[in-house]
Structure 1
Amino acid sequence: MMRSAPNPTFEEKEQYHHYIPRFVLRAFAAQPQPSYDEPTRPVKKKKKQRKKKPAKIAAGDAEDPKGAEDDSPDEAGPSNAPKEPESRVEMEVVKDKGKPKPRRPRFDPAMDPYIKIYDLESGVLDFGKVGRSYGIPDMYKDMDHERAYHVEESLSKLESDAARIYHRIKKDHESGKYKFSITRKDRNVLRKFLFVMRYRSHKFWSKYTGTIDTYEHNDRHLLIEFLKERSITDLRQVWLLGLEVIVKTEIDADGEWLHTIGREMFPADANMYVFHMSESYMAFCEPQSPEDEFILTDNGFGIFEGPVVYDTDNLKSTGADGSSPQLKDPAFTEFHKLAPLSPRLILVLRSNFLRDGPIWEKRKKVFSEWKAWPKADSLLQDLPIKPPEVRYWLLPRKSKAVHTLEDEFSFEIYKVKTEQVYVINALMLQEAVRSITWASDEPLQRSLNAFLRNPNFMLEVSLSVFPEFTPRIALRYQKQRLLSLLDKPYPTEEVRPLEEFNKMNENLGKNPYLQPYYKFGGAPELFRYDSHQAFLLINFRSFVADHSGSAIPWRNKVNKATIKFMSTFHPRIVWFHVKIWNVTANRLRKGLEFSPVTEEDFGVLTGSGPEDLIANLVDFLPFRLLSRLMFETSLKDIHRLDSREKLTAQGVSGEKLEAQMVFQEMDMMKQFGGFGGSWSLVGTPYHFEPVNFCDPFGPDIPHELLYEYFKRDLLLRYNLRGNIEKIILGTRGTPEAYRRLSQLLWDHLYPIPENLFN
């Protein structure tokens, strides 16, 4: 489609474009309407009542122009000009009645009523006019077209056709009828309009408002190709083009529209549209109880019901490189699509896979075997709906019925139980991201309570720790808060939980005990994810220890493999892990492993350990060794403390105690692996590393040979004490860095008594 260059002189007054049509919003008008004092529309004067404007008088004119009217109320003397009859314009008097006819209000309450709107961003509950709700200024404005509002004009025609069908169905429903018929043509209009409602939602509008550089959706490669093919530089044009093609392409009975859509639209969106038009059947429902009502949300016409599965074991980014952990796009199944038409009527599109019949059961079985197909049932599986009955027209000279636009679809409005209404509303509440609207408070209150209690709509811990789910946590808080606002005067007080989360993160960033964590690349927004991963590592270690058998050689290999695997995690996660590990070890040492965890147990976390020294040396130590160093120093500290207590209890003390403590570390190296003293001496004449002590798959080292290796390594460390620091730090070292490294090496990694070799 050809696009003309923007016209710099072209200007139009801003228009408010709805993404939920006004004819639907009016159905959710608040009852009763608030009694605000609306400004009245000025009474339009009749032609004879309008005063003539005074003619302009030239500077030298001495007399008033003929026929001019004296409008000055302060003029003292009478005018010489002939007077015209006074016009009474204050009010119109109805003949034969003494009362004046009231002025028309500026706003027609029937066409522009108030609706209740709960703003999920600000937390404000207030009334809003239908005319200025659920829309975006100049949403469909096309600055690259000579008629900037050509898309809006096309949409208005489709909306008018949909409104005609909607009002007919709504009128029949409100009159007590539970069956109605529409032609295939009208059914196609409704289905097309439902897709347009989804496609013009804030979600899709915002998807196409950025640039291709910031576009992160999984169809990016297709979009790049489409942009090149059509010579489009503005993503917004892809969306506007899609809207225009959908609206202007008639759904014909022969299927020619499929070729047009596939040829003109962005392929990913075209496929989505075709899928929408063909993969489901349409049905209508109303609450069985007169006390129940459906609600409306900002994305209420783009919500589907079906399992959504995130693969938390196969991430897009694990965060191992220091970046934020990130999930891949989820796998999902659209069993039902919802479209609330009024508080008492909802349109449902049910997937053909939920149809009755052998062919559909067979297809569902085939698809369920696909790895990408989420294996879960529908929450609305028991919704009592069926496909409409179709009456086909037999065309002349045709032996069997064929599809025509005049085919008649007979629908029934099905009654749904209260529990099913709650699930439908819960789906709407779960996905609402901007605003919620409803007609009556009591039904909403019951639906909100059901939503908050339903485990199907609670965020799993494995997902809640990802930074991208923080906004959803804030939104859930806002929805819960709505319960406390229903009896408050409008507008309610503003509360922004996402901003509160940000403030909490700011305070978390200032926490003195977490500064070492931040030096490893941690951040407040990563806190929940990293701490969760750290706890998972605790559970992993416990599981491995419980299932590694009793054979010592095998357990040693398992221990080495476990430490080696966990050392691949990012240092910021390992820092958390060793902190929690210290809490657990401290409770075990005190015999409190079966006692409830108290706040006192976590006092260990405030103390400084070798992991904190490593954090302060992060600029001087090889990054690949940071996690391993934290594991090894913490492991040695814990075992050292246990061994010292046991040996002291046996009466061992003094130099004998210190000597035994040193050689016990050889046994630890045999069990868990570890660094020899030469890890920091690579490239120097002092380097000595005959075997990889950390390798879990190498052959077992005989005890005598291990003793010789350990003794030689110990002597090397003893002789180079004070110099290893200089080798590691080089010219970059500061006195503070030297002090910390010395403390790490000789107090935690390789503690050697001064008189060991005397």
Structure 2
Amino acid sequence: MAEPARTTPLNPEYQHFVPQFILRNFAHKYTGPQRSKKGKNKKKDDNIFRGELVVNNVNLRVEPIVIEETKVKRILGQYDMYQDTALPVVQQRQIETLLGKLEAHVSTIFRKMTKAFEAGDPSVWVTREERNSIRKFLFILKYRGSTFHRRFYHETSDQYDANDKSRLRKYMEENSLKRPVDVWFHNLKTIINLNMNTENWKQELLEKMYGDDAQWFIMHSEMMYMAICTPSEAGGEFILTDNSYNVFEGPNTFVQNPTTGEFADDGWTSFHEFAPLSPKLMIILRSLLLPIPEEDSNPEIKAWREARRKEAVDDWYGASQQSSLADLPIKKARNTYSEIVNGRVQLLPGEDGAKRKTDKFCFQFFPVGVEHVNKINHILFDNAYKCTNIVFNSRDTFLKTLEWYMTYSGPFGKLVMRDFDDERRKLLENLAALMKSLGSTREAVWTESPGHVMSDFDKMNSLHRSLKRGLADWMLSANKELQTSPKPPRGPKFAYLFLGGSDITFLEDLDHATRMLKRRIKIDVRSQGMPEIIRNQNREQLTDEYLTYPSRMVLLYVKKVRLMVLGHNDEGYLQRVRNSGLPPPEEPEDIIAQALHDKMTTKKLNRLMYKTAMNDIDRAKDPISEQDLWKTPTQSLEGALRLGMIGKYVFGIPGIPEVERLASLQEQIIRRQDLNGIQGLPYHFIPNDQKMELLTRLMVKLMFHEALADSVEADLLPTLEDVLFKISYPTPPMKPPI
């Protein structure tokens, strides 16, 4: 197990990851007898005096778990959590200081909300700047918490074990950061200091902090809208846990690796996220993937939303996947620059849609019934297995909430995966015992199930999702790398850029490539039982059509074909992609795209990329060494089969159109020779046209460097030669025999 980053503060300080101003909303004054710890190990922090603010909480760190009253000052935090020991002592508290300033600012906005609610107002108005501050703070509540502390708090990158390990390590190297915790501290400072009231704040964020988490912050702020809920029943209350602000509602997939037997989170989509403000107020963040009737009356907006949902949900979990809180009665905040007319959003007269500091937003306090309150608390309970405490307000209400959670057996029930969910099972067992100790006579229920072992289909879905995430990461960083690299950078993302792609076209092109692959698969499925000659004609016609598309789409298409074919046939390839989330660097089609994108017609370039990639995939499926490739097969059934493979590899791409002038000149020389008298060529039995093809390749290869030296980057030329003469047009490793 990785060791945490070490801290050696002179005076340990208790630092909250849930701010005290929120905890005070759950608090009451202590009325019991004065409590103090006696003996030589007593600490001032252990004392509780009458009138001191405390919260009711379930202490999950003890066995058996118990209900306690704990001081607001000493719950939902850790000692020296944000202490940066790499800095001089006087600067080590800078993160805590910045968090304190942000809390002081946002607490006034939240206090305005709670005052309006307590006064019985149906809604509260906030300015655009206040709303932006809230959105920033809600992400900070997520990012500063114990979940991210566990993720980042290590001394070396080797100890970091999240699924973005390779990308984080690269970021650390590029920015001279020694510890993962340095990345966390830097990101926290960057977000806290970010001015979200400028037009270019997103670009600024991407340039200044770790890209994965910058994108997450942007998605959190831009792809979800905020609403405020309150229980409609007088006794209804929300609970608060360590990780309340990290919890989401939506589909996720845990799968078992058939090789190792280990389970892992294979993907997730967030429909709703939660931010408890008090027992009576809960901020809900709802994904823009879910319908918004007043916006969806615009066909273009509706089509955009449906396309994004298909991409994020339907393609991975099925079109039937729904949010368990889809019927939560919330809406987007209204504002001062638009109105709803006949169920459709319209700008007010004189408004042009520009964002202004003077804009204001009206947030309603949406009353939600006991069913929805229970569902939200259910989600928080369900994710409390790594928590230290569950904070609540009223004991009577908490028992009812706990009893509902522990005895609920509907479709939204509790699932424990055997041999994986030991922590979750332990929490449920402890909560069941607590429920009994509080006087309940009801029996706790939950379902135990084996983990889901990945099928081939699941593997491919996972691989495609990993590939898409990885390539999206590449594209977002491409412009920065192009600007800072001392020489033209190389790799798949730059191949895509060289072919005319951009971060704007990327996702659309990726979707198009996915549809191309599905259409290609359908051709085979629908033609089953037909003569193979007809099936091949159908495939060739479709391929010919594809090769007229923009080259950047063809590039993405062949990568999807490679992933599909080798994902089924090459476990090593599959495992590499799963581990890294990215395809191998510089596949043959990438080299061709980078070297020849401006030297050939689109149709010729597309055909060369496609044929080369297919040749490379075939050889990866049925590996054959370079030495064996040029041996004459024996006269046997095995030899006949190998001859068929060789013919496909060697002569599957006729001619060398990319160096046509060279090839034409050499062919004229060869035609003057007696091909039957030439010695030394492999496959002495092949017809003269194939002998001429091999001789042409041999002679062109000799002059290849000289012919392209002025038009292809020097460091790219040897790699291009390998691709063309080993994969595109396999050429014998010999000197021309003429």
* TM-score under structure 1 length normalisation: 0.50
Going from structure 1 to structure 2, the CA distance change for 1:475 and 1:278 (only over 3 Å counts) comes to same
Residue 404 (structure 1) shift = 1.6
Pairwise mapping of residues 80-119 of structure 1 onto structure 2 (< 5 A)?
A: 112-119=52-59
The residue identity in structure 2 corresponding to 1:138 is D
**Is the 2:142–2:246 Cα contact (8 Å) retained in structure 1?**
yes
> What does the per-residue CA deviation read over 1:302-337, in whole Å, with 9 as the maximum and x for residues that have no partner?
1111122223xxx33534xxxxx1123232111111
Residue of structure 1 equivalent to 2:27: 29
Is contact 2:152–2:181 with CA below 8 Å preserved after alignment?
A: yes
2:380 maps to 428
1:316 alignment partner in structure 2: 257
2:512 counterpart residue number: none
Contact 2:313 2:321 in 1 (8 A): no
Pairing partner for 2:287 from 334, 346, 351? 351
Secondary structure of the 1:334 match is coil
In structure 2, relative to structure 1, the CA distance for the partners of 1:24 and 1:426 (3 Å cut) is same
One of 69, 73, 78 as aligned partner of 1:127: 69
- 8 Å CA contact retained: 1:441, 1:486: no
Report if the CA contact (8 A) 1:116-1:128 is conserved: yes
Distance 1:329 1:157 in 2: 36
Deviations 1:397-417 (A, max 9, x none): 987241023210011101001
1:160 to 92, 104, 107: 104
1:223 aligns with 2:168: yes
Aligned to 2:327: 382
CA distance in 2, matches of 1:34, 1:244: 40
Question: Residue 443 of structure 1 aligns with which residue?
Answer: 397
Alpha-carbon separation, structure 2, partners of 1:37 and 1:139: 29
Distance 2:133 2:22 in 1: 16
Paired residues of 1:288 and 1:416 also in contact (CA < 8 A)? yes
CA–CA separation in structure 2 for the residues paired with 1:471 and 1:416: 31
* 8 Å Cα contact 1:154-1:244 kept in structure 2: yes
Match of 2:179 among 216, 220, 234: 234
Matched with 1:263 is 207
CA change 1:399–1:385 in 2 (3 A) is: closer
Match of 2:417 in 1: 464
Residue 362 of structure 1 and its aligned partner are, at CA, apart by: 4.8
8 A contact 1:451–1:457 mirrored in 2: no
SS at match of 1:445: helix
Q: Match of 1:128, SS?
A: strand
Deviation at 1:284, TM superposition (A): 0.5
Aligned AA (1:347): I
User: CA 1:290–1:401 in 2, change beyond 3 Å: closer, same or farther?
Assistant: same
Within 5 A, what are the aligned runs for 1:585-600? none
Decide whether aligned partners of structure 1 residues 409 and 118 sit closer, same or farther in structure 2, where only a CA change above 3 A counts: same
Q: CA deviation at 1:375?
A: 5.1
Change beyond 3 A, Cα 1:326–1:107:
closer
Deviations 1:505-541 (A, max 9, x none): xxxxxxxxxxxxxxxxxxxxxx9979x99xxxxxxxx
* 1:193 equivalenced with 2:137 (yes/no): yes
1-side partners of 2:228 and 2:204: how far apart?
Answer: 30
Cα 1:366–1:265 change in 2 (3 A) is closer
In 2: Cα distance, 1:249 partner to 1:230 partner = 19
Asked whether the 8 Å contact 1:331–1:372 carries over to 2, the reply is no
CA distance in 2, matches of 1:411, 1:28: 22
1:465 deviates by 1.9
Q: Report SS of the residue matched to 1:301.
A: helix
Assess, with a 3 A threshold, how the Cα gap between structure 1 residues 161 and 419 changes in structure 2: closer, same or farther. same
| Secondary structure, counterpart of 1:144 in structure 2 | coil
Alignment of 1:480 with 2:432, yes or no, is yes
For residue 140 of structure 1, the aligned residue among 82, 90, 110 is 82
Deviation at 1:208, TM superposition (A): 0.9
Could you tell me which amino acid in structure 2 is paired with residue 476 of structure 1?
A: L
Change (3 A) 1:126 1:260: same
State the distance in 2 between where 1:246 and 1:390 align: 26
> Any idea what the Cα deviations from partners look like across 1:341-370, whole Å, max 9, x if unmatched?
111111101111122213434542454442
| Aligned-partner Cα distance in 1 for 2:322–2:69 | 38
Provide, for residues 260-299 of structure 1, a one-character-per-residue CA deviation record: whole Å limited to 9, x for no partner.
Answer: 2111211111111111111111100110100111111111
What SS class does the counterpart of residue 310 from structure 1 fall into? strand
* Aligned twin of 1:102: none
Report whether the alignment pairs 1:250 with 2:191. Answer: no
Q: CA RMSD of the aligned region, Å?
A: 3.1
Consecutive aligned runs of 4 or more in structure 1 exceeding 6 Å deviation: 106-110, 527-530
Structure 2 residue 112 is matched with structure 1 residue 171: no
Q: Give the 3-state SS of the residue equivalent to 1:436 in structure 2.
A: strand
Contact preservation (8 Å) 1:253, 1:405: no
Q: Which residue does the alignment assign to 1:650? A: none
Distance 2:197 2:257 in 1: 42
**Residue in structure 2 matched with residue 339 of structure 1 by the alignment:** 275
Aligned to 1:283: 227
When residues 21 and 108 of structure 1 are mapped into structure 2, their CA distance, relative to the original with a 3 A threshold, is: farther
Distance 1:368 1:128, change over 3 A: closer
Length-normalised TM-score, structure 2: 0.52
**Deviation at 1:484?**
2.8
Q: Contact 1:368–1:375 (CA<8 Å) still a contact in 2?
A: no
2:66/2:434 contact within 8 Å kept: no
**Alignment-mate amino acid for residue 33 of structure 1:** Y
1:151, CA displacement in angstroms? Answer: 0.9
1:178 alignment partner AA: P
- Please give the alpha-carbon distance, in whole angstroms, between the structure 2 residues aligned to 1:409 and 1:107: 42
Task: Name the CA distance, whole Å, in 2 between partners of 1:163 and 1:109.
Answer: 26
The structure that has the greater radius of gyration is: 1
C-alpha contact 2:241 2:390 (8 A) present in aligned 1: yes
Does the CA contact (< 8 Å) of 2:124 and 2:363 recur in 1? yes
**Alpha-carbon distance between aligned partners in 1 of 2:56 and 2:393, rounded to the nearest angstrom:** 7
Give the counterpart of 2:239 among 295, 302, 322.
295
Deviation string, structure 1 residues 41-79 (Cα, Å, up to 9, x no partner): xxxxxxxxxxxxxxxxxxxxxxxxxxxxxxxxxxxxxxx
Extract unaligned runs of 5+ from structure 1.
1-5, 40-105, 320-324, 489-526, 534-758
Residue aligned with 1:271, SS: helix
Q: Of 343, 353, 364, which residue of structure 2 is paired with 1:412?
A: 364
1:216 deviation in Å? 2.3
- What are structure 2's unaligned runs of at least 5 residues? 37-46, 297-301, 339-346, 441-447, 454-738
CA offset at residue 11 of structure 1? 5.6
